[in-house]
Amino acid sequence: MSHYLSLAPRLVSIIPAVILVLVILPLTAILLALVCAYMMALQMLQPPRMSEGKAFYVLKRLSPGDLGMGFEDVAFSVRDAAGEAIRLSGWWIPCPASAGRCAILLHGYADAKVGGIAWAPLFISLGYNVLAIDLRAHGDSGGRYSTGGYFERDDLKP
């Protein structure tokens, strides 16, 4: 019996360490993982916008005019998931020999229409009008969040 009583002080000193290892550390790890997942999702939903300075530095162009093509600025509105209007901006690059055909150029993540127009000379030479647009939350278009194509697919509906 006295042997068991001598273990009691040791058990009392071990209990806080056991609570720390079995309860507090896993809860802290779960909370840290949730915060990291939230921050990563927020970063992906809000891509850095392509600015004119960045476009000029990286792409060496600011508009289709820099590629020797005539164009006009266009804008139209779409609705987001909450029903709010989002203004999308774009460039219309006409081709005299188009016969009504049109190619729509879409840019990649964290890019803008200025990046997509690299393909415009090819489509013009093939006889297509070209519409290059900034998707929501990119370039000159409105919107706060990019959904990697989920809601952007609605931006192209007639």
Instruction: Tell me, yes or no, whether 91 and 31 share the same domain.
Output: no
The residue type found at 116 is: G
Domain that holds residue 139: 52-156
pLDDT digits 0-9 by tens, 47-104: 888 877 787 777 777 889 888 899 999 998 888 777 788 899 999 999 988 888 999 9
pTM summary value: 0.72
Instruction: Tell me, yes or no, whether 91 and 35 share the same domain.
Output: no
pLDDT band at 9 (very low <50, low <70, confident <90, very high): low
Instruction: Tell me, yes or no, whether 83 and 148 share the same domain.
Output: yes
Instruction: Tell me, yes or no, whether 39 and 108 share the same domain.
Output: no
Instruction: Tell me, yes or no, whether 9 and 40 share the same domain.
Output: yes
Instruction: Tell me, yes or no, whether 110 and 90 share the same domain.
Output: yes
Instruction: Tell me, yes or no, whether 28 and 105 share the same domain.
Output: no
Q: Which of 50-54, 108-112, 129-133 has the lowest mean pLDDT?
A: 50-54
Q: Report how far residue 64's alpha carbon sits from residue 31's, in angstroms, rounded to the nearest whole number.
A: 48
Any bridge partners for residue 129, and if so which?
Answer: 102
The predicted pLDDT at position 15 comes to 66
pLDDT digits 0-9 by tens, 89-108: 999 999 988 888 999 999 88
